[in-house]
Chains A and B, each alone.
Chain A
Amino acid sequence: MSKIATRKSFGKALEELGDKYPEVVCLDADLSKSTQSQLFAKKYPDRFFEMGIQEANMIGCATGMAFAGKIPFICSFSAFLTGRYDQIRISVGYADANVKLIGTHSGVGIGEDGYSQMGLEDLALMRTLPNMVVLQPADDKETREMIEWAINHKGPVYFRLTRHGLKEMNMDKFEKPGIYPQLKEGEKIAFLASGGLLEYAFDAAKNLQNSGKINPAVYNANCANPLDNAFMSMLAENYQEFVVFEDHTVTGGIGSAISEWMSEFAVTPKRVRRYGVMNVYGESGTPEDLYKKHGFTTEAICEYAQKNLI
């Protein structure tokens, strides 16, 4: 089955949902071909605003539009959007503006453009804002589900989307943030993986199970904020150890969020290992080469498990 980039899934979802939700408007800062907001722009030219290369102003304008009753989606690369942290913090977050932020081109998976274009710290920035729902869908269906959920959710939502195609993982239901869908049952160890890494963590868990030594469960860690206390408690009760996989710096990402929860709130504190971009800047390369370099492959994950978990 062909892989679909979640930016494309977003573009199609917004294009399809535009009729059903006439309050939705979309703003982009000269990246509509990359973010795929061009699909909405073509179908609803009056409700699409090409802002030029002005991310800060785009965030403020979307806030104003939200205050007038619109549901604005603002689109750029996750690095450029969350780089305007102060505008997101005050205009959107603090004011509880009903703005949906679409950050595409997240992770080292963007490839050749290199570090300046990679969103590697976006989760860390966004999840510090108490009311910001921070979502990272793992496949096409989940992206579409989440986009419609966000339209109906009153308040700011941040989406972390990919440039590169993601394998269909059959994530066809999204009910609420903080409940991670389970892909595979297991014992003692749980793999919590987000976005582009879910496929590899899932395959690695199956290989490890077949090897007969460990049998990790796998969950789709699709949300960095908020975490759901009941769901986290369930994880803490059922597993001894966790590994969190993400194409994001390990500092401040979903792994950090889960570590914080497990060390503070679990009845018996649980070990959480973070598996991601290990506190280094990104670089140019093909997505495949960069995924290999950072250990984002089934083989590398199996090797890591042999070394650390068995």
Chain B
Amino acid sequence: MDKKIFERWAKETPKIRENIIKMIHQCQSGHPGGSLSAVEIIYSLFAKDGIMNHDPAKFDTIKERDRFILSKGHGIPALYATLHAVGYDISEKELMTLRHVDSRLQGHPDRVRLPFVEASTGSLGQGASIAQGLAMAYKLDKINNHIYCVIGDGEMQEGQIWEVALSAPHQKLNNLTVILDYNKGQIDGMTNDILKIDPPEEKWKAFGWHVQVVDGHIYEEIVNALKNTHPDKPSMIVAHTIKGKGISFMEEDTVKWHGVGPTDDELKIALDDIRNNNTIGL
């Protein structure tokens, strides 16, 4: 893929970060850290010239579209902001209804209110199984599309993740790629202090996955890994990321910024940080 595409994406993503932080600020709740860590991963899939075969204008009419499941449902501001950025029917005004009563933009994904999110997640572990099921159904129908699923590192502590880890390779689901947003933090502390998941790549490899390790904030690495699938194994991409990526005070205190909204003053600093840095992703 042409490097100019990645340069263009790097110029487009600050707007996504800006919307994420504004959305969380206006309702004073939500999960900035784990939303900002997943921005490049999600944008690599949805961006124009990105990996996924999808059409915002014809959503739901294309059965063979590639599917994206955000299993770490608390990272949803990143997905809402991305869907808006690439042309799905969510206006900037609607983005700012996040977590309001009657909004389609629930605090965690709700596919009944907003079908674009593809699955209702938020209870960790469940989205990965749903992604596996989509892969099973399309494989049965011999449809040549691909299912992508983002899980969190804290989420790797859930038993259901290990059911998927065992099951998807058994079924040879080469049409499934799970991406671990390895941002090292969870609510109560650093992931490897709370319940060690290291080394994730060896664990997934032992379960029979095609494992690749990337820097989750470098488009070229993410895209190359997404393209490099295996003929008969599901793929796991361990993406090393930084919680709160792009906002100085969040990167410095990642655990604090798991699940709180910024104050008015913090919002100003955050927006300055975002606007002054359009090289994230390169």
| Residues of A participating in the B interface, judged by any CB pair closer than 8 Å | 25, 46-47, 49, 51-52, 54, 56-57, 59-70, 72, 86-87, 89-91, 94-96
Contact = CB atoms under 8 A, between A and B. Distances in A.
Nearest to A49: B136
- The secondary structure that dominates the A interface is helix
A37 to B, nearest CB: 16
Contact of A69 (B126, B129, B137): B137
Contacts of A54: 163, 166-167
Interface in B76-116: 110-112
A204 B69 CA distance: 54
Contacts of A47: 140
Contacts of A56: 125-126, 129, 159-160, 163
25 contacts: A25-B140, A47-B140, A52-B166, A54-B166, A54-B167, A56-B126, A56-B160, A57-B160, A57-B163, A57-B164, A59-B129, A61-B129, A63-B133, A64-B134, A64-B135, A65-B134, A65-B137, A67-B119, A68-B138, A69-B137, A70-B140, A90-B123, A91-B120, A91-B126, A94-B110
Contacts of A96: 112
B23 interface: no
Contacts of B136: 49, 61, 64-65
B63 interface: yes
Contact of A95 (B120, B140, B166, B170): B120
A67 B159 contact: no
B239 to A, nearest CB: 22
Nearest to A87: B126
B241 interface: no
B7 interface: no
Contacts of A90: 120-123, 126
A60 B128 contact: yes
Contacts of B163: 54, 56-57
B63 A60 contact: no
A63 B71 CA distance: 13
B242 interface: no
B123 A63 contact: no
Given A56-B125, A60-B129, A69-B63, A95 B112 contact: yes
Given A60-B164, A68-B137, 6 more contacts: A51-B167, A54-B163, A56-B159, A61-B130, A86-B126, A90-B126
A62 B131 CA distance: 10
B137 A63 contact: no
A69 B121 CA distance: 19
Nearest to B158: A56
A70 B111 CA distance: 17
Nearest to A64: B133
B112 A94 contact: yes
A94 B120 contact: yes
